Chains A and B, each alone.
Chain A
């Protein structure tokens, strides 16, 4: 059987007039309003796209013309977090047509590292952002903005700057409504369906996965402020990582020509599983679809690559963009969006969920 030709995008969103650096799906899951796609651009604007009309419904301008690198919604009160290169993390209130900055956090680091959030309770969440020192990660308690701790590697480790962060916690009991980010919500729902997977430690312990400039991935125990485990996955800086807490397996992409897959064993030790060679070097973003079936990468080679998550079998190479792809995002219904330096956002429907 001949392989089918690569698919075309379902639709393409144009009009950011600037390179797209961050994407985030929101809505739909909560059942209110139509699903939206948020995009952050190089020019500092955040566009909110309606996936129904395929038009921008709103534009947020809060980063003084500096690139928006990270977008994340918080379900309570329709709040949006946006991280910009103006060293500001803005909290937006989007409820009922509002679009105003309600709060902001001053960032200390000028790097490209995106932050990460973890819901800790009602109206209560933890935020990880790059810290003041070049190799530090700062943990903040929100919305009080109190600094909980600073995770600083040991003096002789010298991993370089943190490049990407991923907060999660062990022993997550399924707790609807506590979730802040969409993907963790998904995971917990999945956990309910698969009670077989139980993490030994029952008390929730926030953990942080951080990819560093030297190509290593480290697992931090946030409450004890120490590194549980660290492996060298790449020889180039880790550009993106994503973690599947249910299977205790993660994937990271770097500036080199390979993806690394690693796992976490019961002793909280990271183990390299395999590497997946790519044709061209450079991965800007990696995302696992919420149903944990496939994963997508954003490549510097203008291409989106799709793999089977469990086997890492290459499934598709989507060559639509004419410039570096900066970010990919999955919606809860499986829709895939990719934003590129060519100022376009392509939306794809691959292997629809059944």
Chain B
């Protein structure tokens, strides 16, 4: 447990004890409880991320989304800094965590949350500094100078980064949300996508990115660096990028009709037994390989035991009755299927509740929504930079109801 007192009125640690009691009273699963809780003394905002609970308290009115969003940001920054989130990592770097928290928030108001600026203020831990600290016994991760960007009009960018490299990568990452109902009909299918940019450009570059089919974008959200005017008039993204990796834009594409793979579960139950048969196959070939296919479902509580065998991949049944079937790539010769038998609890004749199958997959090199980048112009740089483009589609909330 790490504690950082933000405002003058300190919050007693006992609030955490209260919180745990509350979590236990609600079933003990921190991911299932409300994000905003009114405790007898405080209002708590909680965020559960990778096994770590981020908890913030307030006693007065404030926008709750602000609290939650800030916790998300803290989690993001810490993940970014520490290369992951778990108890050990935080313990290892607790001093840095303290320093970051101190920079990110002042008296209950977010101070510096832009990762690029934070990086300049507090150096992220890396192998080199670790080695140095062993060798020399000295280690300072606090920067001596104030990043210039804090004073500039573009707070997300340091004023004069020096790079040996001169390159910019644009990465389309899409997540597909789809729901098939129990009749196998596609109820809802949409894509949530992000344009991720990784820029290492010298000076103050001015970039313009345009899509060849911007009309398919249903709605959008921008990084603060994007200028609103050009988008409103010509649907062009014009921006001065932060240094390093950032999410330039996120978008939604709705009313899609195609899904890359199908999952057909069949459950027939009688006389205390339930036959399960799940078929997986490619529906619309995206042109690239679909990999990391997984099918996951929760066995109903009334299932006493399960015996499931796949003809491809492996099946794992976890303690909480989650059944994971990892398929990987779909082989050419056969279509993967999972079949087996579930034994219901005594006294139950038929299965009356049906699990939802969550499907995971990944397609490299394809933006499934069909969004295409038309061109990327870089101005204001001494030499033409290297430009790279990538795309990736993976499953989001992709589920099939049995």
Do A and B come together as binding partners? no
Interface residues in chain B, defined as those with a beta carbon under 8 Å from any beta carbon in chain A: none
